[in-house]
């Protein structure tokens, strides 16, 4: 059985998900079932289902406007969706369904924020914080959201910068240049 | 320089009036700013009812001249039985009036942040309060700084209206001196120069803030 399957369609049938690496284990990290999302009258996601196992690298490919970004934004609850469910490491996120009435409730902002802390997201245009320098951009979330001690977070940030070959960049310089 | 004798003789008196003007403007600007930011946040994040209430407040206050408002409250106060010293009465009116304008300036600053910044902050798992504190407000305040400084300058000049309800400050002091010396041109040139100096200093300080402090570098 393939560990990743995708049923249904993004709004363009040519979109598809390609599996890059075989799953080292069968633990389901991300599971999407029957996701449906529309902007007004335009149905962007039509019954999208997929599963991603731990360690797996998945690429979603499709022409622009086919709903790739919308799919990612739904996972992170940056978009609301009308139907379907998303589960991360076994835990449903975003919505909770009342067992008796079958009614769907959006989780509280606090719960959603907590879920987002475990999900990494890189935006198409990076969306760096322009009023912070490179180092502040990297440590903002660990320090302010997760409560990592600042010195520790900065040391880790420098390690990461070195890892991607940016150790030469002055980490306290403006972010505008860093984006390029 | 004999023509300016009256001005030179009364300059110290005018400066004391100016001190009162500055005191009054500062006392009004601080609460106006706090209330203004609060109004802007409630306007953006509040419920429908809150929003309508704030809109009503904004339209009402922005649609009435400050002079009319000051006079109205001046006559209203004794009837309500609220015994507020006149100084604090006018400070209250001026700050409520300017809060309406300040809130619109800050609201514009907050709304002009690109959606991408909100998305980025939310995707990092920030709660609304944290998002406002470290992502939204630092950038919004920077955007709102220039019109905010203009409003502060306008507030300083607006204090000249309070002489109409009998409060003593620079304009009132000038009028007193004019009555005594019958030298309106000289005295009001002096008063204008003092007002200009205060406002110019404020505008310069605002520019300094914009460049140095708010840009951070």
Q: Which residues from B are below 8 Å from A78, CB to CB? A: 119, 122-123
Q: Which of B121, B122, B124 would best serve as a mutation to test chain A binding (most A beta carbons within 10 A)?
A: B124
Chain A's closest residue to B117, CA to CA, is A127
Complex ipTM above 0.85?
Answer: no
Q: Which residues from B are below 8 Å from A77, CB to CB? A: 122
Of the candidates B29, B16, B24, which has an alpha carbon nearest to the alpha carbon of residue B205?
Answer: B29
pTM over 0.90: no
Chain B's closest residue to A114, CA to CA, is B125
Question: What would the pLDDT profile of A47-58 be if each residue is shown by its tens digit?
Answer: 999 999 888 888
To which residue do tokens 């802390």 refer? Answer: A117
Question: What would the pLDDT profile of A14-66 be if each residue is shown by its tens digit?
Answer: 555 665 555 556 788 899 999 999 998 989 999 999 999 888 888 999 898 88
The domains located in chain B, with CATH, are 2-216 (1.10.3720.10)
Question: What would the pLDDT profile of A104-129 be if each residue is shown by its tens digit?
Answer: 888 888 888 888 888 888 888 878 88
Per-residue pLDDT band at B213 (split at 50, 70, 90): low
Q: Which of A140, A142, A170, A174 would best serve as a mutation to test chain B binding (most B beta carbons within 10 A)?
A: A140
Alpha helices in B81-208 (DSSP H): 86-111, 115-123, 128-131, 137-158, 170-181, 184-208
Chain B's closest residue to A132, CA to CA, is B216
Of the candidates A62, A82, A79, A61, which has an alpha carbon nearest to the alpha carbon of residue A70?
Answer: A79
Per-residue pLDDT band at B101 (split at 50, 70, 90): very high
Three-state DSSP state, A104: strand
Residue A4 scores a pLDDT above 90? no
- CA B17 – CA B171 distance, rounded (Å): 7
Q: CB distance A174–B125 less than 8 Å?
A: no
Per-residue pLDDT band at A91 (split at 50, 70, 90): confident
Per-residue pLDDT band at A172 (split at 50, 70, 90): low
- CA B180 – CA B176 distance, rounded (Å): 6
A127 touches B at CB < 8 Å: yes
The domains located in chain A, with CATH, are 4-124 (3.40.50.300), 126-180 (no CATH)
Q: CB distance A127–B120 less than 8 Å?
A: yes
Question: What would the pLDDT profile of B113-156 be if each residue is shown by its tens digit?
Answer: 999 999 999 998 898 889 999 899 988 988 898 899 999 999 99
Are the C-beta atoms of residues B125 and A134 closer than 8 Å to each other?
A: no
Across the strands, what pairs with A53? A28
Question: What would the pLDDT profile of B180-202 be if each residue is shown by its tens digit?
Answer: 888 888 889 999 999 999 999 99
pLDDT for position A179: 47
Q: Both tokens of residue B204? A: 């310069």
Residues 81-140 of B with CB under 8 A from A: 116-117, 119-120, 122-128, 130, 134-135, 138-139
A179 touches B at CB < 8 Å: no
């Amino acid at each position: 059985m393939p560990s990743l399957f995708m049923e249904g369609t993004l709004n363009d049938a040519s979109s598809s998900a390609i599996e890059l690496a075989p799953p080292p284990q069968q633990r389901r990290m991300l599971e999407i079932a029957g996701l449906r999302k529309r902007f007004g009258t335009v149905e962007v996601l039509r019954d999208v289902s997929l599963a991603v196992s731990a360690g797996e690298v998945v690429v979603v490919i499709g022409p622009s406007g086919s709903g790739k970004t919308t799919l990612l934004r739904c996972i992170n609850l940056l978009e609301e969706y009308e139907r379907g469910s998303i589960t991360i490491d076994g835990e449903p996120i975003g919505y909770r369904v009342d067992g008796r009435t079958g009614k769907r409730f959006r989780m509280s902002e606090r719960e959603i924020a907590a879920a987002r802390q475990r999900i990494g997201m890189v935006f198409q245009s990076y969306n760096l914080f322009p009023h912070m320098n490179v180092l502040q951009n990297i440590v903002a979330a660990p320090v302010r959201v997760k409560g990592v001690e600042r010195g520790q977070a900065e040391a880790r940030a420098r390690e990461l910068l070195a890892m991607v070959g940016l150790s030469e960049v002055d980490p306290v310089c403006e972010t505008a240049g860093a984006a390029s | 320089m004999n023509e300016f004798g009256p001005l030179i003789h009364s300059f110290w008196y005018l400066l004391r009036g100016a001190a009162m003007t500055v005191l009054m403007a500062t006392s009004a600007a601080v609460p106006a700013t706090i209330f203004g930011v609060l109004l802007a946040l409630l306007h953006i994040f509040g419920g429908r009812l809150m929003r309508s209430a704030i809109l009503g407040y904004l339209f009402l206050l922005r649609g009435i001249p400050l002079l009319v408002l000051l006079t109205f409250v001046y006559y209203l106060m004794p009837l309500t039985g609220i015994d507020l010293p006149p100084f604090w009465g006018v400070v209250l009116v001026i700050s409520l009036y300017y809060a309406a304008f300040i809130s619109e300036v800050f609201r514009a600053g907050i709304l002009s942040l690109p959606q991408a910044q909100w998305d980025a902050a939310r995707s990092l798992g920030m709660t609304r309060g944290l998002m406002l504190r470290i992502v939204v407000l630092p950038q919004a305040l920077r955007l709102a700084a220039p019109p905010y400084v203009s409003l502060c300058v306008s507030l300083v000049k607006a204090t000249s209206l309070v002489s109409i309800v009998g409060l003593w400050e620079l304009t009132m002091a000038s009028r007193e001196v004019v009555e005594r010396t019958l030298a309106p041109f000289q005295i009001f040139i002096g008063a204008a120069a003092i007002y200009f100096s205060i406002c110019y200093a404020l505008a310069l300080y605002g520019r300094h803030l914009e460049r140095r402090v708010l840009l951070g570098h």
